[in-house]
Amino acid sequence: MRLETKRRQFPSGHVLFHEGSYGFEAYIIESGLVEVTRMSEGQSRVIGTYEDNSLIGLLSIIDGQPRQNTARTLTRTSCIVLPDLYIKEKIDGAGDFISTIISLLVGRARAGERRHFRRHSIEKAVAVSLPDGSLAQHRTVDISMGGIKITPPLPPMSDAMVQVKIADLPFFPARILGSNASGSRLQFDMSGDERMMLANLIFKHSGRADEAEAGIVHFVDMEL
């Protein structure tokens, strides 16, 4: 039997796989944005977001363990779908050495990795509602699905919760991580619907040329 991959289009808000389920497919993202979440203390926490050329859903297929995360599209997304039998066939055909290396890498990934969000550069005005009720005007330095850096910097108030309004989006809750002379870094605390709105803003206003130079924003240690 010849095993093949297939290309599929998914609408915004589609769940590719659920935490606790067993894996039968992995996905290579061709276009779009997928968020990965994990339940922690009764709350769904965002581990990271994945864009073009990202591979997700592989670990549970290789080691046979239940999925530890949920993956959901934030925008219309095109993926190459890799069936589990296709993946196992390719690994088995690679030889014992490669199979051993893959098993070691899977074990390392299960042991814990940092969650990550890709930074984008977009020129947008930002309004910040401070705890005292005052409203400050800023502009973006960079933005990701996890947070934003704004300038000029906010007054010293690390770990304080504020409300952030970017362009024509509604106010989002955010936590101030810290400030220096170059600006203030804030971490978003948004609902699923709010994350989809933010994803559409980022995709609309960030060019593909910027993605080649995009960095990774690290927040906390979390298993992938």
**Domain encompassing residue 134:** 125-222
Residues 75 and 147 in one domain: no
The model's pTM? 0.70
Looking at residue 110, what is its pLDDT? Answer: 63
Q: Rounded to the nearest 5 degrees, what angle is found at the Cα of 101, between the Cα atoms of 95 and 105?
A: 145
Beta bridge partners of residue 126, listed in sequence order: 138, 166
Looking at residue 114, what is its pLDDT? Answer: 56
Residues 103 and 14 in one domain: yes
Residues 184 and 96 in one domain: no
Say which CATH number the domain at 45 has. Answer: 2.60.120.10
Looking at residue 123, what is its pLDDT? Answer: 85
Separation of alpha carbons 102 and 182, rounded Å: 41
**Total number of domains in the chain:** 2
Separation of alpha carbons 185 and 158, rounded Å: 10
Residues 147 and 172 in one domain: yes
Going residue by residue through the chain, which has 224 residues, state the pLDDT in tens, using 9 for 90 and above.
Answer: 556 789 999 999 999 999 999 888 999 999 999 999 999 888 888 888 998 888 899 888 888 888 989 999 999 999 999 998 888 888 788 777 777 777 766 666 666 555 668 888 888 899 999 988 899 999 999 999 889 999 999 988 878 899 999 988 999 999 999 889 899 999 999 888 888 999 988 888 765 434 433 443 333 322 32
Separation of alpha carbons 15 and 73, rounded Å: 7
Q: What's the burial of 42, exposed, middle or buried (CB within 10 Å: 0-12/13-18/19+)?
A: exposed
Q: Which of 78, 111, 144 is the last residue of a domain?
A: 111
Instruction: Look up residue 120 and give its DSSP letter.
Output: B
